[in-house]
Structure 1
């Protein structure tokens, strides 16, 4: 915050007090965020009744800059037109200077008055606009500022995904600022790292009234570079090349920004001074070393793109974030999990968020928002205008490496009749226009990549710098898909291109993937980590694909496959418990060992299984030596839930930068018993530093012996029953089974009872102790499991955020483990005797539910995928055992009472985490 603002006591209490454009900032400015008087105009009478005079009552208070309807605005959405008013007082020391009002963004038709005098109007919803106040100012006196915003629904406006929450009215910071008599409209930096120079282009709002002087100061302290350039009378722009010897480059690991100050003088008394910054970096396309495969390059080095789709929404502020710290954290989250960037989806994002991407070293794909109407002249004008203004505003953000002009052909199809029905066609003339918009973007910014249409669903490219595509698949389909895809991608191929267009040598890039739409009717809220693991393993086996983009950064209204919840709380993957030291970053590691998409296999007991390995080293790092070490270890759980380690080995792995190579298969001996086994892989360098973790798992089938030898060398008799073979059950809400009884559910309070026959050859006197083993969890009754529920809502439009907004309503859903717990407690009785009461902390679903995922039929439907429980070992009372020996029957009852009625799920040996059925273990005396 500048000194001019620091003297204002209200600054500390207004939302988003920071300057909204760190890349284009003037010294004298006044933030107008905070409380404004507000009034809806549902009958559209305000203009006729002269509400702009400020003499009428505006009864509501709105918290600017939050859009009306967003909870943080304090105003509910009640109409399409809203009026704002507030008092402003321009500081007395601004006298004699030109003063402008700038509004960062306001959706859609915005008109502004000062003391009843109209200053101007603006059409558009995403980019800043300014009106001059100077002729009407009374410095040091209070004046009335009135703003009217008309956000009536128009088919041609770039609505994007505002169904998740409308950006109605002012949604980015409005502020006052002083400018010089002649001032800079825009200042653009085009770095040339190969020549160690930057081209600086200054734009004026109108031709220079006389010769002007542009002075530039780039850098800090004694190393700063200073230069001047004359702007001749009649010129409206000027470019100057500034040498930056030994320029420090902007990289993802060192995102250095050069501070810049530009001063325009020579017209009138007042000069114009703008502070900005630049990043010395280059975006281009190069071949992956040792191949003819094109990749996006940063500073001439190929970069493996690992991005996430960022809907850039907030549950309380919609398009507007509550604080600058929140925006910083949004970008930092992506960096912290090892991603290289984000794709801001269907939204020209807030400049301060882009600023944090610049500061933190996170790449950005920037989308032009879309309309939902047809591509008529109004829609074309709106798209081209917003594209121009978006590039003009965001040109200097080094984080942005590509512009995406359209997405999935939204707003590009025309309804036509075919066989009496409306058909949406992507017409050849529209395709030509899309190609022209690509060329327009390239003319406005030749320093970045431009994508014509981020394609999906049978549509293709026209002219583009990226051969991108969307695909939403179950994890088990990725290998076959990528194999077919890569065979059809080559220069001259028409695959993924519209008729009359064909592939060049563009990088092939997945610009959306995930399991959310890969299952029938979408997944709902599920454990995404399992299919994510399979997909990433598959991608790393196909270096022809230069990267991927996962849907998505955070959950939104009707998509729950985000890395984080909509409130940005954490989700749990469970991988760190399966492989010590492993985190989500391992899926994004530059050095990666893939075992292929099949991360769980059924294996015969005692067999030796060959595991294919692929080394995918997407890094130019040269200090790792010629060899790395891969350590493999096989461990897991037997049929009694006991932890065991069965095998381990190490091998040397060759290393060189950007190596993509199939390694010799790993031959792994399977346990000679029923088990769930995890094959953990750890890649280390010569110092022992762990560079990457990965794993796959095996479901080993074998009969469970009637008598086993325990780790204590005691023999024990094993009595088991399938989870589905209960003799009695009663639940207050519902009882049902999953996949023919592989899992048994009871919701609310109630009980389930098992009966096992006491073995005739075992005397009670020969039993030292006994215990009951079971895998169990709480069981929430999700909406989908209630009677009479259907997924489809009457008003459903997925792309606009309408419809199935309950994360557990989708038939496929089983919400992923997160920070919100759903606890229960179970009391275990044996032959009427209480054996113990156990807390069940949650109803979890994540990567630890190996058996639940492995059991899923491959039919694009999910049945409680990833769900699992907690292993309970319940000592059985002696009195109960004695009674069982007399009656010949063990009666095990699991009860959930009304004190904590969180339900109960019981997992059989083919579902959950452990390969155990409900089991009684009779430990025999020596």
Structure 2
């Protein structure tokens, strides 16, 4: 590819994705909204008939054969080959795979449709259409007009609805959803989780003033000496507020009523930096997840949020939270309700997952392998559970393709934009188990640098590669030069050995940074019992955890700062096809798909209790 073509490609990608990022509205919970959740109609369209004509060219806007247009039938001779009617209905939010057997393995296009009436809107207000997530590619149409397109299955997006397009009644909304996997997408073709398709998160109308607060970042200033701040009981809060449009010499106010704080800042342009001092601040922590009501005001518009203030940092080989060393007693989880074989979508689902985390006595969750829904991150704030959240740069991404890098950067920015005010998130991760090469390290290190520019109040990580040589495990992945911690996935005792291999294992870490096990685990079919040497028995999995814990205590370096075993619940994966033990499930869960806690759950729970008592 010559330089001119490459430059044009990057410019096109920057426009396609960057524009959506700049317009993303945060904290929709704190705004005036109308829910569009509920029952929608659908058409399954594996041949893309509604999108392309018979010459396989994208249909024109007013084409009656386009599935975004409402069929008009006034007489018997009128012709149409599509319509949205009963019994073809589907619930939103939700994946399509779990709602009808016809969808179980389906990958392709499904058209979603519903109507809605115009909400109550003042003359000085605008209406945006907001999606929490659609997997993977979404084209959105309203009353026959295309509002826009978005790629990325786990991050939010929104489009402004032109005032002249919005009718008083019967607004005809259509979403073209496609979850096909491609080599040049993020994630790529090969993953180890179920490719749930559909509108998987909340859909809503967001009603705003013409000029409004669009995004903001309000956090504890990370450059201050936390010990001195505690001693003086004076803390510095800093960040910024971004408006949806430029203004001149206007006031943005930030208030924290409980602390009797109100600060005014003059904004010229579309954003303003904020910085002010507070006294007697209670810092957010796992023991005391204190959240403050924070209100931001601009002209007649105000928005409220609940924000915790804390400092996370690395000091040599230690992870510090508010100046105190912390050990991450973690667990990994997918965004799935295993017992229902579906994507997790609601506050109730988040409550169920975190209840199991609490039962385990964990203080940290790795949200794998993509950003989870906003109910998860907000509930973690209120429960005092630390989070690692990542983008799905997974395994065999096309690291030499600049278009793929642009897609990964877009998802990284949307993830950080949505959740940058969540105190629970202490780690942004840029990927998982990516094979070492020069192209890969350049790709991944670019993402690390991007994350640091977007947000300097968290640690940046990735699940790195491990080199094995007999009993010595080398951790020298070149990406470790760029990340704040050295995180890696190890399965010593499951792949290629038995758990007693941990007894003689040695570990050599190249980097003088905190060392974190981001995955470890063994499979077990819930309820299957046998001798501990029998793979897929609960006894084997328990033996695996017993040997791992012994290794953690005896052979691991002083830099060992935490572990997040794989995984909390069994989860669905088309890669796992053992007909006796797996049946389409990854069985490394500590809890099975019937909500049965396996023996290993209690083994890890006792280890975490022991660590908790030592704190």
TM above 0.5: yes
- For 2:324, the equivalent position in structure 1 comes to 301
Give the corresponding residue for 1:460: 477
Aligned to 2:538: 526
The Cα of 1:359 is off from its aligned counterpart by: 0.8
Match in the other structure for 1:282? 311
Counterpart position of 2:240: 201
* Aligned residue number for residue 44 of structure 2: 40
Q: Secondary structure at the match of 1:406?
A: strand
Q: Give distance in 1, aligned partners of 2:534 and 2:611.
A: 32
For each residue in 1:574-629, what CA deviation from the matched residue of structure 2 results, as whole angstroms up to 9, or x when unmatched?
97xxxxxxx8532112558xxxxxxxxxxxxxxxxxxxxxxxx742xxxxxxxxxx
Q: Which residue of 2 aligns with 1:568?
A: 595
Aligned to 2:390: 367
Contact 2:217/2:241 (<8 A) preserved:
yes
CA contact (8 A) 1:305 1:340 kept: yes
Shift of 1:401: 1.0
Alpha-carbon distance in 2 for matches of 1:139, 1:92:
12
Q: Deviations over 1:81-107 (max 9, x none)?
A: 111111111233555410110001112
C-alpha deviation, 1:316, in angstroms: 6.9
Paired with 2:314 and 2:92, the residues of 1 have a C-alpha distance of: 43
> Match of 2:354, SS?
helix
Tell me by how many angstroms 1:258 deviates: 0.9
Alignment pair present for 1:514 and 2:541:
no
Post-superposition offset of 1:469: 2.2
Provide structure 2 residue ranges, at least 5 long, that are not aligned to the other structure.
Answer: 1-24, 52-58, 60-64, 72-81, 469-475, 494-498, 525-532, 573-584
Q: CA deviation at 1:453?
A: 4.2
Alignment of 1:499-898 (within 5 A): 503=511, 505-516=512-523, 523-527=535-539, 528-541=541-554, 542=556, 543-557=558-572, 558-572=585-599, 585-591=605-611, 618-619=614-615
How many Å separate the matches in 1 of 2:517 and 2:148? 43
Equivalence map 1:311-326=2 (5 Å): 311-315=334-338, 320-321=343-344, 323-326=346-349
| Contact in 1 for aligned 2:538/2:599 (Cα 8 Å) | no
Q: Distance in 2 between matches of 1:322 and 1:440?
A: 29
- Are the aligned partners of 1:172 and 1:320 in contact in 2 as well (CA < 8 Å)? no
> Secondary structure of the equivalent of 1:171?
coil
Q: State the distance in 1 between where 2:100 and 2:332 align.
A: 24
What CA deviation, in whole Å up to 9, does each residue of 1:314-337 have, x standing for no partner?
247767325312212212321232
Deviations 1:159-210 (A, max 9, x none): 378653223131111100111211222111221354512213112344x143
Specify the alignment match of 2:501 in structure 1. Answer: 477
1:278-304 deviation per Cα after TM superposition (whole angstroms, max 9, x unaligned): 1111101236xxxxxx22111111111
Q: Which residue of 2 aligns with 1:216?
A: 254
Matches within 5 A, 1:7-26: 23-26=27-30
Of the candidates 217, 220, 237, which is equivalent to residue 191 of structure 1? 220
Deviation (angstroms), 1:537? 3.2
Structure 2 counterpart of 1:54, from 70, 86, 92: 70
Three-state SS of the structure 1 residue aligned to 2:450 is helix
How far apart are the structure 2 equivalents of 1:590 and 1:118?
Answer: 57
CA contact (8 A) 2:134 2:198 kept: yes
Task: Confirm or deny that 1:262 pairs with 2:262.
Answer: no
1:362 to partner: Cα distance: 0.8
Note if contact 1:345-1:366 (Cα within 8 Å) is conserved in structure 2: yes
Q: Is the contact between residue 95 and residue 139 of structure 1 (CA under 8 Å) also seen in structure 2?
A: no
Shift of 1:75: 5.5
TM (norm. structure 2) is 0.78
| TM-aligned CA deviation for residue 150 of structure 1 | 2.8
Residue 313 of structure 1, CA deviation: 2.0
Q: 1:480 to 1:524 in 2, by over 3 A?
A: same
* Residue 156 of structure 2 is aligned to residue 128 of structure 1: yes
Contact 2:200 2:345 in 1 (8 A): no
For residue 381 of structure 2, the aligned residue among 358, 383, 386 is 358
Verify: 1:405 aligned to 2:430, yes or no. Answer: yes
Separation in 2 of the partners of 1:574 and 1:444?
37
Cα distance, 1:77–1:274 mapped onto 2, change above 3 Å: farther
The total of aligned residue pairs comes to 519
Q: Say if 1:318 and 1:355 are closer, same or farther in 2 by CA, change over 3 A.
A: farther
1:71·1:316 contact (CA, 8 Å) conserved in 2? no
- Going from structure 1 to structure 2, the CA distance change for 1:397 and 1:525 (only over 3 Å counts) comes to farther
Taking a change above 3 Å as real, the CA distance of residues 73 and 343 of structure 1, as seen in their structure-2 partners, is farther
TM-score (norm 1): 0.53
Q: In the superposition, relative to structure 1, how do residues 359 and 428 fare at CA in structure 2: closer, same or farther (>3 Å)?
A: same
Are the equivalent residues in 2 in contact too, given 1:92–1:139 (CA < 8 A)?
A: no
Distance 2:601 2:187 in 1: 38
The answer on whether the counterparts of 2:142 and 2:173 sit within 8 Å (CA) in structure 1 is yes
Deviations 1:105-129 (A, max 9, x none): 1122212222112222222222111
Task: Provide the residue aligned with 2:264 in structure 1.
Answer: 228
Contact 1:524 1:559 (C-alpha < 8 Å) held by counterparts: no
Q: CA deviation at 1:478?
A: 2.3
Structure 2: distance between partners of 1:574 and 1:278:
32
Asked if structure 2 preserves the Cα contact closer than 8 Å seen for 1:171 and 1:320, the reply is yes
Aligned equivalents of 1:522, 1:83: Cα separation in 2: 47
Shift of 1:78: 4.7
Query: In 1, distance between residues paired with 2:333 and 2:70?
Result: 40
Partners of 2:158 and 2:184 lie apart in 1 by: 23
Q: Distance in 1 between matches of 2:191 and 2:36?
A: 25
Residues 715-738 of structure 1: CA distance to partner in whole angstroms, max 9, x if unpaired?
xxxxxxxxxxxxxxxxxxxxxxxx
1:68-467 mapped onto 2 (5 Å cutoff): 68-71=96-99, 78=106, 80-94=108-122, 96-138=124-166, 140-159=168-187, 164-192=193-221, 194=229, 196-206=235-245, 208-220=246-258, 223-232=259-268, 235-265=269-299, 271-286=300-315, 294-315=317-338, 320-321=343-344, 323-371=346-394, 372-375=396-399, 376-409=401-434, 426-456=436-466, 460-462=477-479, 463-467=482-486
Please state how far the C-alpha of 1:72 moved relative to its aligned partner. Answer: 7.6
Query: Could you list the runs of 5+ residues in structure 1 that have no partner in the other structure?
Result: 1-20, 266-270, 288-293, 414-425, 494-502, 576-582, 593-616, 620-926
Q: Say which structure is richer in strand.
A: 1
Shift in Å, 1:390:
0.8
Asked whether the 8 Å contact 2:216–2:239 carries over to 1, the reply is yes
The aligned counterpart of 1:67 is: 95
Shift of 1:429: 3.2
Query: Could you report, residue by residue, the CA deviation over 1:502-549 in whole angstroms, capped at 9, with x for unpaired residues?
Result: x2x3112222222349xxx99435332233123223313344422222
Tell me the distance in 2 between the aligned counterparts of 1:573 and 1:124. Answer: 35
**In the alignment, is the contact (CA less than 8 A) between 1:309 and 1:553 conserved in 2?**
yes
Report the Cα offset of residue 564 of structure 1: 1.1
Q: How far 1:24 sits from its partner (Å)? A: 4.5
